[in-house]
Amino acid sequence: MSRIAYVNGQYIEHRRAAVHIDDRGYQFADGIYEVVAIVGGRLIDAELHWQRLERSLREMKISAPMSRAALSHVIAEVIRRNGVADGIVYLQITRGVAPRDHVFPKKVRPAVVVTVKRTKPVDPKLVARGVDVISLPDIRWGRCDIKSLSLLPNVMAKQAAKEQGAYEAWLVDQDGNVTEGSSTNAWIVSAKGTLVTRKAGPEILNGVTRLAVLALARAEKMKIEERSFSLKEALKAKEAFITSTTNFVMPVVRIDGKTIGGGKPGPFARKLREHYIAHMATA
Ligand code: PMP
C-alpha cells in the first residue's frame, strides 16, 4: 500500500505530493503546524491540539482553511488511507500561495497539508536509562507560543545535541533560565521535591503533553510550581525530564555531562510517564 498525503484538496501518493514554489510556508515559514499522536487508531488529546491550532492561526492572522469538522474528516481519511493505528499526524497550514511579497496577499487561500506516519514507540531502554541534554543559548524569536513553521534555531539546537551525543538541547534565556527543549518542554524536580516547569508564556510552546502532565500531577496531589528555573538550579535538581507528543515523559539523567539525581530516572518521571500512558487510553 503506498503512502497517501493530503495536499490542498487532494489525496495523493506521498512521493508525488508537492506544494507550489510560491507557497509562503516555503518562502517565509509563514504558517503553522501540529503533530498529534495516534494510538490504537485514536488521536490523543485532540481537543487541546485543536485549541492550540486555532490559536496559532489567530495569532498569525491566517484564516481557517476549513471547519474543524472538515479538517477532522480529512485527518481521519488520511489515517484510514494509510492504515495507521500507531503513529503521528502532521498537519501544516500556510498562509497560501502568492507572488513573493512580505506583505500578506489580499486574496489567498490557506494551503493545507496532512501526512500520517507509522512510528515505533520510543526505545524502552532509553526510557529506563534516561537521556542526556546539553544547554544552548535560546536565540529564538519572542513568540515561541505560536507553533509556527519557523524552526531554524530549534533545528540547529537539535543537530548540535546530536553531534554531542545528546538527545535534546535545553535552551537558556538571557537571565540564565531554561525556556524549553528544541522540541520538548523542560521539567525538574527541585531540591525541595517540587515539580517545576516554566509558566506558559511567549517564551515557550505550551505543550499539549505539558498540559496533560500538569493535570495528572495535580490529580496526584504533587507539589507543582509553574515558574522559571535556572540551569544552575536544574543541575542541582533531584530529577529532570522532558515531555512531548512523541516522547511522552522522558527522564533526563545528565545535563551538559553533569549527572542529575544520581544518574538514574527518578520516581516523579516514572510515575508521570505511567500516568500519561494510562491517560492516553482515555484521552
Ligand atoms: N516545545 C517545542 C519547541 C516543541 O516543538 C514541542 C513539540 N511540538 C514541544 C515543546 C512539546 O509540545 P507537545 O507536547 O504539544 O508535543
> Secondary structure of the chain in the HEC alphabet?
CCCEEEECCEEEEHHHCCCCCCEHHHHHCCEEEEEEEEECCEECCHHHHHHHHHHHHHHHCCCCCCCHHHHHHHHHHHHHHHCCCCEEEEEEEECCECCCCCCCCCCCCCEEEEEEEECCCCCHHHHHHCEEEEEEECCCCCCCCCCECCCHHHHHHHHHHHHCCCCEEEEECCCCEEEEECCCEEEEECCCCCEEECCCCCCCCCCHHHHHHHHHHHHCCCCEEECCCEHHHHHCCCEEEEEECCCEEEEEEEECCEECHHHCCCHHHHHHHHHHHHHHCCC
**Which residue out of 107, 117, 120, 147 is catalytically annotated?**
147
> Taking a C-beta distance cutoff of 8 angstroms, is the pair 158, 168 a contact?
yes
Model confidence at 121, pLDDT cuts 50, 70, 90, reads confident
Ligand 1 neighbours (beta carbon < 6 A)? 35, 154, 180, 183-185, 205, 207-210, 243-245
Q: Is 219 exposed, middle or buried (0-12, 13-18, 19+ CB in 10 A)?
A: exposed
- Write the pLDDT tens digit of every residue in 206-255: 999 999 999 999 999 999 999 999 999 999 999 999 999 999 999 999 99
Name the residue at shortest CA distance from atom 13 of ligand 1: 207
What would the mean pLDDT of 112-120 be, rounded to a whole number? 96
Atom of ligand 1 nearest to the CA of 180: 1
Active site residue 147: yes
- Write the pLDDT tens digit of every residue in 128-164: 999 999 999 999 999 999 999 999 999 999 999 999 9
2 CA → ligand 1 middle, Å? 29
Atom of ligand 1 nearest to the CA of 48: 15
180 CA → ligand 1 middle, Å? 9
Atom of ligand 1 nearest to the CA of 208: 15
For the chain, domains (ranges, CATH) are 4-118 (3.30.470.10), 124-280 (3.20.10.10)
Measure the CA–CA gap between 207 and 229, rounded to whole angstroms: 17
pLDDT of residue 72: 97
The set of cell numbers assigned to 163 is 553531534
